Amino acid sequence: MKTTFKLNALAIATLVGSVTALSGCSNDGNVENINAEAQSKTAKIWPKLSIAVKKDPVIEAKIVDYLQKMTLEQKVAQMIQPEIRDITVEDMRKYGFGSYLNGGGAFPNGDKHATPNDWVALAEKMYQASIDDSVDGIAIPTMWGTDAVHGHNNVIGATLFPHNIGLGAANNPELIEKIAAITAVEVMATGIDWVFAPTVAVVRDDRWGRTYEGYSEDPQIVRDYSAAIVNGLQGRADSDFLSDKRVISTVKHFIGDGGTVDGDDQGDNVTTEQELFDIHAQGYVGGLSAGSQSVMASFNSWHGKKNHGNKYLLTDVLKTRMGFDGFVVGDWNGHGQIKGCTNESCPQAINAGLDIFMVPTGAWKPLYENTISQVKTGEISMDRIDDAVARVLRVKLRAGLFDKPSPAKRQFSGKTELIGAKEHREVAKEAVRESLVLLKNKNNILPLSPKQNVLIAGDAADNIGKQSGGWSITWQGTNNKNVDFPGATSIYSGLKNQISAAGGKAILSADGTFEQRPDVAIVVFGEEPYAEGHGDRDNLEFERGNKKSLVLLNSLKEQGIPVVAVFISGRPMWVNSELNASDAFVAAWLPGTEGAGIADVLLKSADDKVQYNFTGKLSFSWPKTAIQTAVNKGDENYDPLLPYGFGLAYGDKNVLADDLDEDSKLDNSALTNMNVLVGAPVAPWRLLLKSGDKILDVSSSTHEFGAIKYRTEDKTVQEDARQFDFSGAEKASAEIVTSFAEDTIAYLEANGVISFDIKLNDELTNDVVLAMTCSGSCGASIDLADIVDKSIENEWQSVSIDLGCFAKQGVNFASLTSPFSLRSNGKASISVANIQLVPNKADEATLSCK
């Protein structure tokens, strides 16, 4: 039998009443707990917002009614958000989750090419299961949330707009509202209710892998845009708010994600509280005032404390002081990162003010069960649960989810023609045109006559995946081909259409070779797609250690061909050499599916007129060196290569000469050893075991896992070494990995080695290898027998290997995912300790590859 925690009507009426009176405070005693002095300090920094969406007494009464009827189990289910890869429709029927999501690159039936109707069919089944009260006894519609962060980017054929960094350069809030309204329509066409956007990070260090998800380094644009996006997604509070053309929005990630130390994804923000408000909170001022109904908590910490567990920020500041009365959703198992929590259990987050756990993986079930028992034991108060559920229900009621037809019957559902509709693409093309920033235009080489012979070179020229970046069909934006973007236009095909129509000739040649000498070359190149921490970099040098684009630019220049560079990137980068090699240079950011917007600006019309001028201005300062990673308008001694707001128009005087300093200022002399496993794996590195296809994250001091046995061992001090016994029953390995690739190229450049202590506990057979892997499918391996002294058994020996040996085999040290893996198909017993990357030791290495 289910335990029911029923509050009497009066208690709940008082609860909801006090929620109204305190503008969203969670009535769990927190208001009393903040002393007067602290309250007045908070009040000085954080304003009470004037929020466009007001409380509606009818809705509030319904909430009271629901809370009275609901069991504890039903309430907790409203707070659990699993992912489509981890639940079935039957789970939805049984538990009645308040919401669910598809992560980046998760599709109905696991089918990348799922049609809009497949999306609608899943939405319909989940909805019907949620309102089926036969098992869970209640009929509350669920809602589906998705990352439509630059258009409905998980769906094949959708219109993909420029990523936010490009929209920031356009600085046009009206256009942004249109884009959001279109995104809402394409999302509605797939039966989905809710979008995890806008990202309102104010990005302060461009090494951050999510830089392109930010509109600007300056809070002003972010604040204006946040309101515009929220208005576009949800509809304006005073007109068609959350009507059948609109979706729920989420302002994310609360708070300070763009200001972590070293631009580290999910890292620590150590700004003062005043700066937290002045710089990082402005998107919340804009978006919440416009009435955004949800906020996503951020993975990052503030002064060492994870935001998901920060009651001061989530409850006192956001809800109580600013007056936010929607719900706070967590980020991808973000609660599990709070000290003392796991993905499966985390009362701390709820107590801090999180209302919905985003809980992908199988963790949802134990989390649901543990949360229920934590309420029973009093670790979580029933008032807190009621407050969280009241917030979820308030948003559902405001969005009309109880009254709207089911997903399949909504006005846009299944209207395939809306996905990537021509009018939508026209708006995206307009956004592309407005996002382009002209950095250099020597001798006014641009605009180009389309009547010439134009060579179109570079690996991004005809590559829609590359021009779209991360969060494009797949999470990282990788593994896509042009055919995965039906209806889209590559930069090359946009140019070619106009050049051919005007009587010119467009020749596509990625590597820049040609038979007939061109009059001019347009070279399209830039960063490979990435998302989140995978995009974190050590510094801002473009193509460090592999200057392939520069080689291409220089070879054209040497042949006397004028060069127009179109640079695709998710951030400003140090490209002085590439700028020197180009006559004109355009920062195109990540334009998305409408590559033709670039031709509109670069090319004149057939009758020799400017079609569209450049209007984009840098919303991020452009760095002068590779180490000028945190250069922001308003800094003391502000000295970028090109300042915030820079952007040439046709006819403007060119400012960049061809002799920019080509010294990156990167200095490896201060490089210290990188500890990989010293005592224990050192973050971000962790140890896992693989046997056959199975993987185990090492979590205790011994494991028996398929063909591999593991235990800690004492070398110099207690448990500072690791022993691995391979049984030979199947292929097995011990791997030191990181979730996000690390940029370790400095160690390669600094003549580095990987060094470690190793002990052979048995005779070494030849089938043990030491491997390294990097992002994509790159990697290399070396036979252990070639580097250790096989005659020494049961004694420690020190080994070091020149990193160049791995680089020669193709390891890309800029995105290393595993520096050390032991693999074997056979029988072996090996112990290791003290694994490090060490600079300046290649000449003395056990194995050198110079």
Q: Give me the active site residues, please.
A: 331, 532
What one-letter code names the amino acid at 185?
A: V
Q: Is 100 in the site for ligand BGC (CB under 6 A)?
A: no
Task: Find the shortest distance in angstroms from Cβ 274 to ligand BGC.
Answer: 26
Q: How far is CA 521 from CA 564, 587, 594, in A?
A: 6, 16, 21
Please state the φ and ψ torsions of residue 760, each to the nearest 5 degrees. Answer: -90, 115
- Of positions 47, 103, 366, 679, contacts ligand BGC by CB under 6 A: 103
Pick between residue 253 and residue 537 the one whose CB is nearest to ligand BGC: 253
The stretch among 89-97, 101-109, 617-625, 840-848 that binds ligand BGC (CB under 6 A) is 101-109
The DSSP secondary-structure symbol of 414 reads: T
Q: What are residue 555's phi and psi, to 5 degrees?
A: -70, -35
Comparing C-alpha atoms, which of 95, 76, 78, 86 is closest to residue 133? Answer: 95
Which one, of 754, 759, 796, lies nearest residue 772 by Cα? 754
Total residues binding ligand BGC (CB under 6 A): 11
**Shortest CA distance to 827 belongs to which of 709, 692, 700, 695?**
709
In the complex, residue closest to ligand BGC by CB? 103
Smallest distance from the beta carbon of 245 to ligand BGC, in angstroms?
A: 23
The single-letter code of the amino acid at 228 is A
The answer to whether the beta carbons of residues 413 and 189 sit under 8 Å apart is yes
Does residue 289 contact residue 52 with C-beta atoms inside 8 Å?
Answer: yes
- Only one of the segments 97-105, 344-352, 385-393, 656-664 lies at the binding site for ligand BGC (rule: CB under 6 A); that segment is 97-105
Of 60, 136, 147, 325, the one binding ligand BGC by CB under 6 A = 147
Complete edge-to-edge strand list for the sheet that includes strand 686-691 = 694-697, 686-691, 732-737, 816-824, 768-774, 778-783
What does the per-residue mask of binding to ligand BGC show for 529-568, with x meaning CB under 6 A?
---x------------------------------------
Closer CB to ligand BGC, 75 or 571, in the complex: 571
* Region at 657 (left for phi over 0; alpha for psi -120 to 50; beta for the rest): beta
Q: CA–CA distance from 319 to each of 48, 286, 625 (Å)?
A: 10, 15, 42
Task: Give me the helices (H) in 112-261, please.
Answer: 116-131, 133-136, 164-170, 173-188, 219-234
User: Binding pattern to ligand BGC, positions 224-253, x when CB under 6 A?
Assistant: ----------------------------x-
Q: Does 331 bind ligand BGC (CB under 6 A)?
A: yes
Selection from 485, 471, 483, 492 nearest residue 419 by Cα: 485
Task: Tell me the C-alpha distance between 435 and 654, whole Å.
Answer: 19
Contact 343, 350 (CB under 8 A): no
Which residues, 173 to 212, sit near ligand BGC by CB under 6 A? 196
Longest dimension (CA), the chain: 85
- Terminal C-alpha separation, the chain: 72
DSSP H helices in 809-847: none
Which position among 106, 285, 618, 677 is part of the footprint of ligand BGC (CB under 6 A)? Answer: 106
- Residue 297 C-beta: closest distance to ligand BGC, Å: 10
- Measured from the CB of residue 771, what is the shortest distance to ligand BGC in angstroms? 23
Q: Tell me, residue by residue from 445 to 484, as one string, x for binding to ligand BGC by CB under 6 A and - for no binding.
A: ------------------------------x---------
332 interacts with ligand BGC by CB under 6 A? yes
Cα separation, 316 vs 311, in Å, equals 7
The reply to whether 108 sits near ligand BGC by the rule CB under 6 A is: no
C-alpha 75 chain-centroid distance: 30
Closest approach of ligand BGC to the CB of residue 214, in Å? 12
Look up tokens 């050590």; give the residue: 538
For residue 332, the minimal CB distance to ligand BGC (Å) is 4
Hey, which residues between 673 and 712 contact ligand BGC (CB under 6 A)?
none
Interacting span for ligand BGC (CB under 6 A) from 100-108, 132-140, 173-181, 237-245: 100-108
Closer Cβ to ligand BGC, 252 or 604, answer by number: 252
Q: Which of 846, 703, 700, 715 is nearest to 770 (CA)?
A: 846
Q: Given the complex with ligand BGC, which of 60 and 331 has the nearer CB atom?
A: 331
- Residue 60 structure tokens: 């509030």
Distance CA 215, CA 202 (A): 7
Stretch that binds ligand BGC, among 102-110, 224-232, 566-574, 632-640 (CB under 6 A): 102-110
Residue closer to ligand BGC, measured from CB, 105 or 752: 105
Closest to ligand BGC by CB, 217 vs 331, is 331
Scanning 65-73, 104-112, 286-294, 784-792 for contacts with ligand BGC by CB under 6 A, the matching segment is 104-112
Q: Does 284 bind ligand BGC (CB under 6 A)?
A: no
Out of 104, 469, 681, 752, the residue judged to bind ligand BGC by CB under 6 A: 104
Q: Which stretch binds ligand BGC (CB under 6 A): 103-111, 433-441, 554-562, 665-673?
A: 103-111
- The C-alpha angle with vertex 575 and arms to 573 and 577, in degrees rounded to 5, equals 170
Contacts with ligand BGC, residue ranges (CB under 6 A): 103-106, 147, 196, 252, 331-332, 475, 532
